[in-house]
Amino acid sequence: MDTLNSPEEIDLPKTQEEFVPQRVYTDADPAFGELKELGKGVAKVWLVTTKAMASDSMGLVHAGFIFSSANFSAMCAINDPNAILIGADSKFLAPIEVGNEIEFRARALQNDTKKREVKVEGYVLDIKVFDAMFYVAMFDHHIFKLRITERKKPS
C-alpha cells in the first residue's frame, strides 16, 4: 500500500491562487478534528483527543472517534457535498490515549470517477497509528434529492 509519509507527496496549495475552499462538513463538530490543510484531492486533519473520548478509566480513546476523524479527512479530500461514504477498510495500528494528537493525511487516488478511493493514514508524532482506504460514491445531486424510492404508479 502507498504511504503518505512525506508532505511532498501531498500536493497541498502553496499559493493563494491554489486555494481550495472547503465544501463539505463546514459545520462539523470539533470532535471530528480540525481541518488544517486542504488541496485538490488531499486534506490534513488534526485531532486532539479529550477525556470525553475515553472508553475507560485508563484513558483509552474509543476507536469511533478515530474513525470519524479519518472519515472527515477522507471526505474533505473529495470535497464534494454530493459524495457519500459507502465503505472502508481500516486498521487501528496502536491504541490512542487521551491527550494524544493525531494527524490524518488523506489523498484521493482518483478524481474523475463515480466511485473513488481515498487513502488515509493517521500519525501520532512519527508513529503510524491508523491506516485505511475509504470508498466514496459520487452523485450529481444530494442523495436525498434523487428520489430513488419514488416509483411511477401504474396507469
Considering the entire predicted model, what is its pTM?
0.81
Which residue ranges form the domains of the chain, and what is each CATH number?
Answer: 11-145 (3.10.129.10)
Tell me the one-letter amino acid at 82. Answer: N
| Confidence (pLDDT) at 16 | 47
For 34-64, the pLDDT digits (tens) are: 999 999 999 999 999 999 999 999 999 999 9
pLDDT at 13 over 70: no
Q: How far apart are CA 25 and CA 126, in angstroms?
A: 27
For 73-89, the pLDDT digits (tens) are: 999 999 999 999 999 99
Dihedral angle sign, alpha carbons of residues 74, 67, 58, 95: negative
